[in-house]
Structure 1
Amino acid sequence: MVFLLRGKKCSKKGQKIEFLEANKLELTIPIHFRCPISLDLMKDPVTLSTGITYDRENIEKWIDSGNLKCPVTHQMLLDLHTTQNHTLRKMIQDWCVEHKSHGIERIPTPKYPISAYQVSQICSKIDDATLHRDEQKVKELVRKIKVLARESERNKICIAENGGGKAFSVAFKAFATLSIEKYADLLKRILSGLAWMFPFGEEGLSKIGSRTSLQCMVWFLRGEDLSAKHNSVVVLKQLLSLKKSYATKLMEIEGVAETLFTIVQAPISPAATKASMVVIYNLLEGNEKVVESFVEMGLTQIVIELLVDGDKSMSEKALGVLDQICNSTKGKEIASKNALTMPVLVKKLLRVTELATEFAVSIMWKLCSKNQEGNFVVEALQVGAFPKLLVLLQVGCVQSTKENVTALLKLMHLYKDKVECLDSSSGLKYLKRSN
């Protein structure tokens, strides 16, 4: 590896800077200062059990990718632990200082990753401070955890895997029980950490999923602090995604449906909207009464609008919610009257995710099968649903979706004469083969 440095001078005003070839200087990085993987100057040299030293970032990426052999010796790595090579790092730093005049910047001393033991110690202190209701101490320790998490993704993972979520959950419930208003600032700080610590064990889930904790998050959702609202809905999304049984407990809190609807209606951020859609989906699933309440608020129209311009992630979530809405007679009625519904459903087929396609097919079947006049079926044919459904059968899908697709195609065949541009001959032959 060579650094190419050139002397330079400015000519008269207005003219370009010229590089002087005569002052060209080549500076070679010593071979033992280079990482064997990237061949770049090592910033944080660490040594494997095989005795070979690598830059920490490069060797960790190598191991995280599933490679369990030393890149140089090809020996199996029975021990994945790395040891900081302080001596080599100091030599590299001294070399950088020595060549400072050549434009080489000194490599800063790296911040070493936090250990599982250190995380456990901090969590124990949080538990102790929570037990003694020491608000300031808990604040200090929460801040410390968050500072460490910001240093690297590795630290975040270590904190989440070694009790961070449990300690934060216990503290959140404890101080929310005492007084949400009095400890609002502390609770907000804890909540911002909980948003990235999932999953965190049964005890942690039971604490954050308690009625007290859920009420506290709903309280933040109703407030004006956008950050607290965002973190609350993200935590609720992760909680319900892990354990749907908490949906029933959440719905017992007065006004929660209206609160979630408001967040979707007046978005805070795309991430918050997506999280809200996941929470709403879990609340709607299997609960017709809840579906009716959201439909009456106007959720159907909002979801269809989200589908029009939403990205893949948003579209999948919106389709899931619309599928639940269409389990309701009122929901189906509103969806079928919206001119955008069928075009957007057909557009999303095979273009988002497999799950999104399954939701879209399910919605189409719920709407078409109950449409006695056949208007919705004709509309589906007009916007190109028939060939897309055929393709879906050919590429394959889950059994329930396959059954819905086959039923839709047969239903569409009954109305083929009302759509001049439809060539159904190939489709009919395919249907016969699939029976």
Structure 2
Amino acid sequence: MTSIVRPRKTSVKMNFVRNDSKIGISIPGHFQCPISLELMKDPVTLSTGITYDRQSIERWLETGGRTCPVSNKVLKEGDEEEEMIPNHSIRRMIQDWCVANKAYGIERIPTPRTPVTREIVEEMLSKIRMASREGDRNRCSCLVQKMVVTAKESQRNRRLIREGGAAQTLSMSFENFAGVSVESLGNGVSEEILSALTMLFPLDKEVLRHVGSPESMNCIVSILNFGSLTGRLNAALVVKELVSSGREYLIAETQGLVEALTKLIREPVSPQTTKASLIAVFYMVRSDEKVASQFADMNLASLIVEKLVDSDRSMCEKSLAVLDGVFGSENGREKGCKHALTVPVLVKKMFRVSEMATEFAVSALWRLCKNDAGEVGCLIEAVQVGAFQKLLLLLQVGCSEGTKEKASELLKLMNGYREWECIETMDFKGLKRPF
């Protein structure tokens, strides 16, 4: 059986041009993986005698396949690791075929690396633990880097590393080195460990306990402030993982964390870092008024309002979520009311970004207007920029129950200030008022 491969969609680079016409190359059938029907890069043979490309058969097994796809024979327990034998003969034949067809642009398939085993993983992690106990930062850093490279080679490697307890080993090692600030580490072992941990999300409770200890958190704050660009991103991702797991009330007590996260939002390192910081802040302020007030003291509300003027959908949703949380504190609402752009930006973002953004914008506006302490400045300004009509429209098109209640309450509060409307309302004349 042969298949004609054209240079359009294939894992092998095939840009064949001769006399301005494309030439098809026939790949021998026994060089093709029975699953992907593509040229095998790492052929392995199962106990059934059928040869597959390693990546294809591993994906088959990881998704629940327990039979040989070709013969349909049930595979014995452990076939995927113990009896997945590299077929060196077929691999060398494929490489020779690639070399013979080099003139047509076919690149030689490199000899694949030997995949890791549970024994190799255990030895690797044992060496990391030993280097950590001995305080050998250079050796630990090299070992962690090697583990990361190994994990990136394949999903199977990453799974075995995760199942071998890598997260526990890394978190304990991080805690061991956490007593030294990042400025004096030199080799950045703490950053290397955080980078490896981000590959193993979600983290279990034991791992979170080590990473969330006072010593570890002080080190994380130091990396947020003084680490490399990648180090800051990974530190922000770990903080996000910590606070999203229900430990926000403990993490928020870490000295300097509020300032460090605010700085990453004020002085962006990268879009990913900013988004991770915003999510971490959201979890910290959503149910703790004291923490929300701390972020308000850092002028986070004003900072986010200004960023909302020109931000993409993802950034806008996260920013509005944080703003809603900060307005949960009296301090946050006070600072929000004083900023000239707050109300106009909140009203403008309704229906402009997404359903989620609209609901956060309504909630933030509701917090400002409901708790206006007798002042009607926010209410009048909201009416002036068209909030009344947008809220009416929101009730007509539908929204969640919580948002519906807040929108209805806002409409009742604004109803007495309709004379302040400064927009053309003809487009909304058909809307029905809910009261």
Shorter-chain TM-score: what band? Answer: 0.7 to 0.9
Map of 2:27 onto structure 1: 29
Q: Distance in 2 between matches of 1:241 and 1:221?
A: 18
Map of 2:408 onto structure 1: 406
Q: Is 1:428 matched up with 2:425?
A: no
Map of 2:293 onto structure 1: 292
Q: Is 1:120 matched up with 2:122?
A: yes
Paired residues of 2:286 and 2:326 also in contact (CA < 8 A) = no
Q: Distance in 1 between matches of 2:305 and 2:157?
A: 40
1:173-184 map, 5 Å: 173-177=175-179, 183=185
Q: Distance in 2 between matches of 1:111 and 1:383?
A: 63
Map of 2:14 onto structure 1: none
Q: Aligned in 2, Cα 1:134/1:373: closer, same or farther, shift over 3 Å? A: closer
Q: Aligned in 2, Cα 1:364/1:61: closer, same or farther, shift over 3 Å? A: farther
TM-score after normalising by structure 2: 0.80
1:59-78 map, 5 Å: none
Amino acid in structure 2 at the alignment position of 1:197: L
Q: 5+ residue gaps in structure 1?
A: 6-16
SS in 1 for 2:39: coil
Amino acid in structure 1 at the alignment position of 2:246: K
Compute the displacement of 1:382 (Å): 4.8
Q: RMSD of the alignment, in Å?
A: 3.6
Map of 2:315 onto structure 1: 314
Map of 1:10 onto structure 2: none
Q: Aligned in 2, Cα 1:4/1:408: closer, same or farther, shift over 3 Å? A: closer
Q: Which moved more, 1:103-112 or 1:308-317?
A: 103-112
How many residues end up aligned between the 2 structures? 416
Q: Aligned in 2, Cα 1:310/1:159: closer, same or farther, shift over 3 Å? A: farther
TM-score after normalising by structure 1: 0.80
Q: Is 1:143 matched up with 2:145?
A: yes
Among all aligned residue pairs of Structure 1 and Structure 2, give the percentage whose two residues are the same amino acid: 43
Q: Aligned in 2, Cα 1:331/1:112: closer, same or farther, shift over 3 Å? A: same
Amino acid in structure 1 at the alignment position of 2:406: N
Q: Distance in 2 between matches of 1:181 and 1:314?
A: 31
Q: Distance in 2 between matches of 1:48 and 1:398?
A: 53
Q: Distance in 1 between matches of 2:23 and 2:361?
A: 65
Q: Which moved more, 1:63-72 or 1:27-36?
A: 63-72
SS in 2 for 1:2: strand
1:190 counterpart (193, 205, 213): 193
Map of 1:219 onto structure 2: 222
Compute the displacement of 1:318 (Å): 1.1
Map of 1:207 onto structure 2: 210
Q: Aligned in 2, Cα 1:69/1:309: closer, same or farther, shift over 3 Å? A: farther
Compute the displacement of 1:390 (Å): 4.4
Compute the displacement of 1:352 (Å): 4.2
Q: Aligned in 2, Cα 1:328/1:125: closer, same or farther, shift over 3 Å? A: same
Q: Alpha-carbon deviations, 1:31-58, whole Å to 9, x = none?
A: 2222345433222334567765444445
SS in 2 for 1:19: coil
Q: Aligned in 2, Cα 1:353/1:36: closer, same or farther, shift over 3 Å? A: farther
Compute the displacement of 1:398 (Å): 3.4
Q: Alpha-carbon deviations, 1:179-222, whole Å to 9, x = none?
A: 76654522232222223322232221111110000011112223
